[in-house]
């Protein structure tokens, strides 16, 4: 099967493809809001009909205790090439605050901007626009050649924005149906507008909330200040002791399983021309914090962190109140890399708190998730094959990159189905995902479709 006529078909069909995306964006599939339960099902049913129109004849809505999954497949073991599982999610974030939207969030349109035309609407970038880049690539392949160049299975989720409670049980129940040679995920972004990226490292996450209690009531600081223990002071000491003067986390064993990046990967990252000053300057900062001997890019993609996300205690309202509080609390998150054990990190943190807890104080711990990092081995030739295919489409060569955040599905595909994931996305940093006025560049949509067509061709040729 030749690629050039497929690319030509994509170019000719762009207006129709954009119209299909706009129709999907009009469905307010907000998974966190029970009032939109029917809308989530409507989005799933819309996708099933679209998949069937392409040639995924077995596409179906699959019920779960929450919002439904969408599955489908094309090809079989005799198709040739690898078996690929493509994942995306059709649910979106709430659109609040509505007053900050320039146009209604579920009345999408193509809008001209100084940087070129954009598709404006909730879900345009996260993740409906990204999801549709793959479907449109499949549509073009089937329109030109009557078939896909490789065996492809589809899994669309409707709960990604609400914690994916049904995902792991569904993967376990249908493992034999879903397991493939490689998972493809389109929920990430470009490195910059001209540089595509394959994300090969995702940080894990551990969340901890601690509540320290001292006296059995709030006290007058003039009457009790001094002899009575102050939970805020205790909490501040515990938090301050989490890092040393060089920005390293002090928990025993914290860096167990943290790898150094290879010289080849370091050279590739240095070649990206990341501007640390501009990165910090964009948020009103000028001096890098964190580990003193690491670059900002390395800290974001390849190093673990411990961050304090919120502190409360005492009186913080208008005016002044000389209170010595009964309680103080903090929410603390750990981003993990490599082979760090999230359970061991949680236990080390709790031991740290207990060790610094003085008499007359007690502590409550509330865990908020514990997921390991995901690291995809670029030794698999499929990754270099895909990188070259992407590089052929974009002005600059594609790069293997890390991600500062966490995408649990990649880890679930590894632990539940035993397969690696290739994360390729076409979002830009200014797409305003999860915020008012979300958009997806029409260029990202168009070149994203062409990119997937190239990746499918390259992977099928590699076998």
Write out pLDDT tens, residues 22-76.
999 999 999 999 999 999 999 999 999 999 999 999 999 999 999 999 999 999 8
Q: Are residues 412 and 449 in the same domain?
A: yes
Q: Are residues 29 and 83 in the same domain?
A: yes
Q: Please report which helix (H) or strand (E) contains residue 368, including its range.
A: strand 362-371
Q: Are residues 355 and 441 in the same domain?
A: no
- Which contacts (CB < 8 Å, 24+ apart) does range 113-117 have? 115/441, 116/441, 116/442, 116/443, 117/441, 117/442, 117/443
Instruction: Determine contact, residues 373/202, Cβ cutoff 8 Å.
Output: yes
Residue 346 within a domain: yes
pLDDT score recorded for residue 371: 84
**57: CB partners within 8 A, 6+ apart:** none
CB atoms within 10 A of CB 195: 18
Instruction: Give residue-wise pLDDT tens across range 391-427.
Output: 999 999 999 999 887 788 898 999 899 999 999 999 9
CB atoms within 10 A of CB 112: 9
Residue 293 within a domain: no
Please state the domain count of the chain.
Answer: 2
- The residues with which 282 forms a beta bridge, in sequence order, are none
What is the DSSP code (8-state) at residue 164?
-
Task: Indicate if the alpha-carbon torsion angle 36, 434, 105, 446 is positive or negative.
Answer: negative
- The residues with which 118 forms a beta bridge, in sequence order, are 111, 441
Distances in Å between the Cα of 49 and the Cα atoms of 59, 177, 221, 263 are: 8, 21, 67, 48
Q: Are residues 194 and 54 in the same domain?
A: yes
Which one of 329, 349, 371 terminates a domain?
A: 371
Q: Which two tokens stand for residue 174?
A: 């249908």
Which one of 319, 348, 371 terminates a domain?
A: 371
pLDDT score recorded for residue 374: 87
**418: CB partners within 8 A, 6+ apart:** 179
Task: Give the C-alpha separation, 74 to 342, whole Å.
Answer: 38
pLDDT score recorded for residue 428: 96
Task: Give the C-alpha separation, 60 to 73, whole Å.
Answer: 10
Residue 284 within a domain: no
Q: Are residues 190 and 44 in the same domain?
A: yes
Task: Indicate if the alpha-carbon torsion angle 451, 457, 462, 463 is positive or negative.
Answer: positive
Q: Are residues 25 and 146 in the same domain?
A: yes
pLDDT score recorded for residue 358: 97
pLDDT score recorded for residue 195: 97
Instruction: Determine contact, residues 402/373, Cβ cutoff 8 Å.
Output: no
Helices (H), 242-295: 263-270, 276-281
Rounded to two decimals, the pTM is 0.86
Residue 275 within a domain: no
Task: Give the C-alpha separation, 406 to 337, whole Å.
Answer: 10
Q: Which two tokens stand for residue 49?
A: 């009909």
- 127 preceded by a cis bond (ω within 30 of 0): yes
Residue 289 within a domain: no
Which one of 325, 350, 371 terminates a domain?
A: 371
Instruction: Determine contact, residues 385/459, Cβ cutoff 8 Å.
Output: yes
Task: Give the C-alpha separation, 315 to 332, whole Å.
Answer: 21
Task: Give the C-alpha separation, 159 to 63, whole Å.
Answer: 12
Q: Are residues 46 and 89 in the same domain?
A: yes
pLDDT score recorded for residue 444: 98
Residue 424's closest CA among 198, 135, 124, 85? 198
CATH code, 333: 3.30.70.360
Residue 358 within a domain: yes
Residue 281 within a domain: no
pLDDT score recorded for residue 408: 83
Residue 273 within a domain: no
- Ordered per-residue pLDDT tens for the chain, 463 residues: 899 999 999 999 999 999 999 999 999 999 999 999 999 999 999 999 999 999 999 999 999 999 999 999 999 888 778 999 999 999 999 999 999 999 999 999 999 999 999 999 999 999 999 999 999 999 999 999 999 999 999 999 999 999 899 999 999 999 999 999 999 999 999 999 999 999 999 999 999 999 999 999 999 999 999 999 999 999 999 999 999 999 999 999 999 999 999 999 999 999 999 999 999 998 999 999 999 999 999 999 999 999 999 999 999 999 999 999 999 999 999 999 999 999 999 999 999 999 999 999 999 999 998 888 988 888 899 999 999 999 999 999 999 999 887 788 898 999 899 999 999 999 999 999 999 999 999 999 999 999 999 999 999 987 6
Task: Give the C-alpha separation, 188 to 198, whole Å.
Answer: 9
Cα angle vertex 204, ends 199, 206, to 5°?
A: 160
Q: Are residues 420 and 403 in the same domain?
A: yes
Q: Are residues 52 and 173 in the same domain?
A: yes
Q: Are residues 22 and 168 in the same domain?
A: yes
Q: Are residues 223 and 181 in the same domain?
A: no
pLDDT score recorded for residue 463: 62
CATH code, 407: 3.40.630.10
**Can you give the residue range of the structural domain that contains 82?**
4-202+375-462
Q: Are residues 145 and 223 in the same domain?
A: no
Strands 151-157 and 204-213: unpaired
Task: Give the C-alpha separation, 380 to 383, whole Å.
Answer: 6
């Amino acid at each position: 099967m030749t690629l050039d006529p497929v690319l030509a078909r994509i170019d000719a069909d762009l207006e129709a493809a954009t119209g299909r995306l706009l129709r999907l964006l009009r469905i307010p599939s907000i998974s966190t809001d029970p009032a939109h339960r029917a809308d989530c099902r409507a989005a799933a049913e819309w996708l099933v009909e679209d998949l069937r129109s392409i040639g995924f004849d077995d596409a179906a809505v699959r019920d779960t205790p929450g919002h439904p999954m969408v599955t489908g497949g094309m090809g079989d073991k005799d198709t040739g090439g690898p078996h690929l599982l493509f994942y995306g999610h059709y649910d979106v974030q709430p659109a609040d605050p509505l007053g900050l939207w320039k146009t209604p969030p579920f009345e999408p349109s193509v809008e001209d901007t100084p940087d070129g035309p954009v598709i404006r609407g909730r879900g345009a970038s996260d993740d409906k626009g990204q999801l549709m880049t793959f479907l449109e690539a499949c549509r073009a392949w089937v329109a030109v050649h009557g078939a896909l160049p490789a065996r492809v299975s589809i899994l669309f989720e409707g709960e990604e924005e609400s914690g994916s409670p049904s995902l792991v049980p569904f993967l376990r129940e249908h493992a034999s149906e879903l397991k493939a040679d490689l998972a493809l995920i389109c929920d990430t972004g470009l490195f910059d507008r001209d540089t595509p990226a394959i994300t090969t490292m995702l940080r894990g996450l551990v969340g901890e909330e601690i509540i320290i209690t001292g006296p059995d009531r709030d006290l007058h600081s003039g009457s009790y200040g001094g002899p009575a223990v102050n939970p805020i002071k205790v909490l501040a000491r515990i938090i301050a002791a989490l890092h040393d003067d060089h920005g390293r986390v002090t928990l025993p064993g914290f860096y167990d399983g943290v790898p150094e990046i290879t010289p080849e990967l370091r050279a590739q990252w240095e070649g990206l021309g990341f501007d640390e000053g501009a990165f910090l300057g964009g948020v009103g900062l000028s001096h890098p914090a964190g580990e003193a001997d690491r670059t900002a890019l390395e800290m974001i993609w390849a190093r673990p962190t411990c961050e304090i996300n919120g502190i409360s205690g005492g009186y913080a309202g208008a005016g002044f109140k000389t209170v010595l509080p009964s309680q103080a609390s903090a929410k603390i998150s750990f981003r993990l890399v490599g082979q760090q054990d999230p359970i061991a990190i949680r236990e080390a943190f709790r031991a740290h708190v207990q060790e610094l807890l003085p008499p007359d104080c007690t502590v409550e711990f509330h865990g908020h998730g514990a997921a390991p990092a995901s690291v995809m081995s670029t030794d698999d030739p499929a990754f270099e094959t895909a990188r070259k295919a992407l590089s052929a489409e974009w002005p600059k060569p594609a790069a293997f990159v890390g991600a500062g955040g966490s995408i649990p599905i990649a880890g679930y595909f590894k632990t539940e189905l035993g397969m690696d994931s290739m994360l390729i996305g076409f979002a830009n940093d200014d797409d305003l995902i999860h915020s008012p006025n979300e958009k997806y560049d029409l260029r990202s949509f168009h070149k994203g479709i062409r990119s997937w067509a190239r990746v499918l061709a390259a992977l099928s040729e590699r076998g």
